[in-house]
Amino acid sequence: MITLKDIAKECGVSTATVSNILNGKNKVSEETRDRVLKVVKDRGYKLNYVAQGLRRQKTQTIGVIAEDIAQFTTPEIIEGIMEVCEERGYRTIVQNLRLYARWQDLWFDNDKMYYSVMNPAVQEMASIRVDGIVYVAGHARKIHRFPNDYQIPSVLAYAYSQEEEVPSVVIDDEEAARVAVDYLVKRGHTKIGVMAGEQENIHTKLRILGYQKALYDAGILYNPELVTYAGWGKELSYNAAEALLSKDITAIFSMSDRNAGGIYKYLFEHGKQAGKDISIIGFDDEMISDFMTPGLTTMKIDLLGIGKKAIEMLFDKMEGKEVSKEIKMPCRLIERASVGRI
C-alpha cells in the first residue's frame, strides 16, 4: 500500500510538505501543491487513518453501542446518528451487544450478565479511541453506572441516564399517551380500556400517567380495572383481549401496535372489526399498523429525530458546550381507520 513517504519521494519534496498539502495548510506554493496533488491522484494514494489517529490522538470516529440492532427502534435511530455524523465528517463504528438475541429479557435485572457484555464493548470503544459514544437502548429504562472510566463523552438514546455527565434523549411517553387518549375522548369515548405493556416498564408507567391525565382533563374517573397488563407481544395481548373486551368499554388504548395486533386477532376470530365494534389506538407506528385491516391509528415515534438529537448533543458536549440533561421527543398521531365516533 502506497504511503505518504512514497508520494514525497516521487515528488522530490518532504513528507511534511505532502502532509501540509493534504491537510489544507496554506503554507505551500501553488506550484508544488498542484504537482503533489497530481501525483496523489495518479497513484491513488489514500491516507492511513490508523496512523493519523495515532499521531493526532483523535480518530474522528463516533462509537455507537446498540443493545440490539434487531430491536425495531434501533436501525432508524442509528440511521439518524449516521446521517449527522456524515455531514460533520465523522466516521461511525457500531457495536451490537445483541442483548435480546442472547438472553431475551433475562438481562434486564441481571447486572452481571449485562456488564459482562457491556464492559468489553466500552473498553473496545476506548481502545479504538473513539471521540464519543452514543448508547442506543432497546427500550426505555434508567441506566445507572454507565461505565465512564475512560472519560469518553457519551450520550444515551432511548433510555434515561442516571449519571450527571451522561445526557439522554427519550420519547415523551406521558404526553404521547395523553394525546392518544385525548383523541379517543374527543371522539366521544368515555369508557376507555388500556392494553398495557409490561407492568414494571417505564414506558408502561409513563403512558398510564398520560392516560390518567387525559381522563382527568375530560373529567372522567380513572378506573384501574380497565387496565390490563399484557407484555409487549401479540400473544399475551390476544389472551387478554377477551377479558378486556368484556368490560364495559368502547375504546382501547393499546400501548404497542403489537398489542393491538393481538386484539385484532381476537376480533377477527369473532367476526368483529376495529373501528366499528370497538375503537383501538396503538403506539409505535410500526409497519404492521399500516397492514392491519382496518389500518391502525397509532402514535408514531420519531426515531430518526432521536438519533439526530442524540448525536447533536454529543457533538455539543465534545465541543465543551452546555447541554441539557434530558430531552423528551414528542410523538405524532397517525390517523388510520381503527377509531370510530360515538
Binding region for DNA (CB under 7 A): 1, 3-5, 12-17, 19-20, 22-23, 27-29, 31-33, 47-48, 51-52, 54-57
Question: CA-CA distance, 133 to 95, in Å (whole number)?
Answer: 10
- Residue 10 in contact with a copy of itself, rule: CB under 8 A: no
Q: What are the grid coordinates assigned to 185, written together?
A: 375522548
Partner from a copy of itself, DNA, none contacting 150, C-beta within 5 to 8 A by type: a copy of itself
The grid coordinates listed for 7 are 508520494
Question: Burial code of 134-160, b = ≥16 C-beta within 10 A, e = fewer?
Answer: bbbbbbbbebeebeeeeebbbbbbbbb
Burial of 246 (0-12, 13-18, 19+ CB in 10 A): exposed
Residues 82/88, Cβ–Cβ less than 8 Å: no
Task: For a copy of itself, give the closer residue by CB, 69 or 299.
Answer: 69
CA–CA gap between residue 65 and residue 134 (Å, rounded): 6
What is the C-alpha separation between 229 and 80, in angstroms, rounded? 32
**If contact means CB under 5 to 8 A according to the sort of partner, which of a copy of itself, DNA, none does residue 12 touch?**
DNA
Query: How far apart are CB 279 and a copy of itself at their closest, in Å?
Result: 17
Which cell numbers in the block locate residue 104? 431475551
Q: How far is the CB of 248 from a copy of itself (least distance, A)?
A: 25
Interactions with a copy of itself, residue window 266-295 (CB under 8 A) = 268, 286-288, 290-294
Q: State the binding string over 144-173 for a copy of itself (x if CB under 8 A, else -).
A: -----xx-----------------------
Q: Which is nearer to a copy of itself, 126 or 202 (CB)?
A: 126
Helix (H/G/I), strand (E/B), else coil: 149: coil
* Cβ atoms of 159 and 138 closer than 8 Å: no
What is the nearest approach in angstroms of DNA to the Cβ of residue 119? 18
For position 115 contacting a copy of itself by CB under 8 A, the verdict is no
313 phi, psi to nearest 5 deg: -65, -40
Which residues, 6 or more positions from 181, have their beta carbon under 8 angstroms from its beta carbon?
192, 210, 211, 214, 215, 253, 281
Query: Considering only 32-40, 45-53, 202-210, 248-256, which stretch makes contact with a copy of itself by CB under 8 A?
Result: 45-53
Q: Which is nearer to DNA, 29 or 246 (CB)?
A: 29
* 112: number of Cβ within 10 Å: 7
User: What is the closest distance, in whole angstroms, from the C-beta atom of residue 195 to a copy of itself in the complex?
Assistant: 15
70 binds, among DNA, a copy of itself, none (CB under 5 to 8 A by kind): a copy of itself
Between 178 and 258, CB nearer to a copy of itself? 258
Using the minimum distance from each CB to a copy of itself, give the nearer residue, 129 or 213: 129
- Within 8 A by CB and 6+ apart from 198, the residues are 204, 229, 231, 232
| 124 sits near a copy of itself (criterion: CB under 8 A) | yes
Contact criterion met (CB below 8 Å) for 253 and 282: no
Among 94, 245, 318, 323, binds a copy of itself (CB under 8 A): 94
The Cα–Cα gap between 156 and 168 comes to: 4
Q: How far is the CB of 332 from DNA (least distance, A)?
A: 44
Segment lying near a copy of itself (by CB under 8 A), choices 20-28, 94-102, 181-189, 202-210: 94-102
Q: Which CB atom, from 29 or from 57, has the smaller least distance to a copy of itself?
A: 57
| Residue 62 contact, options DNA, a copy of itself, none, Cβ 5-8 Å cut-off depending on partner type | none
Q: Say if residue 70 is exposed, middle or buried (CB neighbours under 10 Å; 0-12, 13-18, 19+).
A: middle
Binding site for a copy of itself (CB under 8 A): 1, 44, 46-51, 53-54, 59, 69-70, 74-76, 78-79, 82-83, 91-96, 98, 101, 123-124, 126-129, 149-150, 234, 258, 261, 264-265, 268, 286-288, 290-294
